[in-house]
Structure 1
Amino acid sequence: MGKYHMSNRPNREIKSEEQIIELLEKGKYVTISLCKDSQPYIVTLSYGYDKDTNSLYMHCAKNGLKLDFIRANAKACDTVIEDGGYIYNECGHWYKSLVLWGEISILTNTDEKRKGMEIILNHLETDNDFIKKKLDSDIKLYQDLVVLKYVINEIHGKSGR
């Protein structure tokens, strides 16, 4: 991906790293764009953000279209959006959005899966002890669980209103 610039609306660009991280930490879902054999596919998943590795973690079923696409091409482009709603009688919209470029891997190591699930649960849940205890009580649950790690290589943000 070449250097991206906002030629039409440079005043809407989110340049602050703090604002970008805040949006990633507040967000609950990411829409992922994948491509395999020139065919596009898009899917929305909940996620957990890990600031230390600048990565998103997601979990999904053991089989499915998204895994076929990821195995064929790990590169992805994603969006995280904070939607403040349409502004009536102004033909406007309040929003903040991020476009992310990076690569997704399917974790196979149980310890990595555990770390990924902990990041997801800490990001999404207010009281995650029940779910953590359930997962930790049976190691087979991790063996059957698919955890994805999306390493972010580039981020661009934009806001409106």
Structure 2
Amino acid sequence: MFHELRRQDRKMEDGAIKEALFKAEYGTLSTVDAEGNPYGVPLSYVYNEKLQTLYFHCAREGHKLDNMAINNKASFCVVSEAQTLPDRFSVKFQSVIAFGKVSEVNEGEKIEALTAFLIKYSREFMEKGVKYLEADEPNCRVFKLEVKHLTGKIRLT
């Protein structure tokens, strides 16, 4: 069960949520370990709107992988356009939280996701990026968070 946003006056519309997911540079993946301890780690990511999926890549082993093997439920938070408003003791921002289940992708989907990373982060260096991808692909793993629920919150002033 997912909770509704408490501040309905700051609720983002679906179009703004998707725009924030495309624009943000990174997000924080949150998982839980076997003892119930939370773990959040910042990651680069790509969003596939058609599949309602967030992709991220990582090394072959690590704490988040251990957590996801135990419990594949996760959340992913992005913040875009954050600006401190010191005279108002506040922050102008847009934030999105995605909830879903994480799984490792198959080889075909892995190449598609890694190519999407090149397009998002290194579009001007695609030729060099493809060579890098070919050399490094065996050393990384790619996962997807299949989005079951999205919430977005915005403060403009």
TM-score of the pair, normalised by structure 2? 0.90
What are the within-5 Å matches in structure 2 for residues 76-155 of structure 1?
76-107=74-105, 109-129=106-126, 130-136=128-134, 138=135, 141-155=136-150
Query: Is the Cα–Cα contact under 8 Å of residues 30 and 80 in structure 1 kept in the other structure?
Result: yes
CA shift for structure 1 position 120: 1.7
Query: Is the Cα–Cα contact under 8 Å of residues 24 and 79 in structure 2 kept in the other structure?
Result: yes
| Structure 1 Cα separation of the partners of residues 114 and 72 of structure 2 | 20
CA shift for structure 1 position 10: 1.4
Query: Is the Cα–Cα contact under 8 Å of residues 23 and 82 in structure 1 kept in the other structure?
Result: yes
Unaligned runs of 5+ in 1: none
1:41 aligns with 2:36: no
- Secondary structure of the equivalent of 1:58? strand
| Structure 2 Cα separation of the partners of residues 82 and 134 of structure 1 | 28
127-136 or 53-62: bigger deviation:
127-136
TM-score of the pair, normalised by structure 1? 0.88
Aligned positions, number = 154
Query: Is the Cα–Cα contact under 8 Å of residues 48 and 124 in structure 1 kept in the other structure?
Result: no
Unaligned runs of 5+ in 2: none
CA shift for structure 1 position 116: 1.1
| Structure 2 Cα separation of the partners of residues 128 and 103 of structure 1 | 32
Q: Which amino acid aligns with 2:138?
A: Q
Deviating above 3 A after TM superposition, structure 1's stretches of 4 or more consecutive aligned residues are none
Give the structure with the higher percent helix. 2
* Matched-pair identity in %: 28
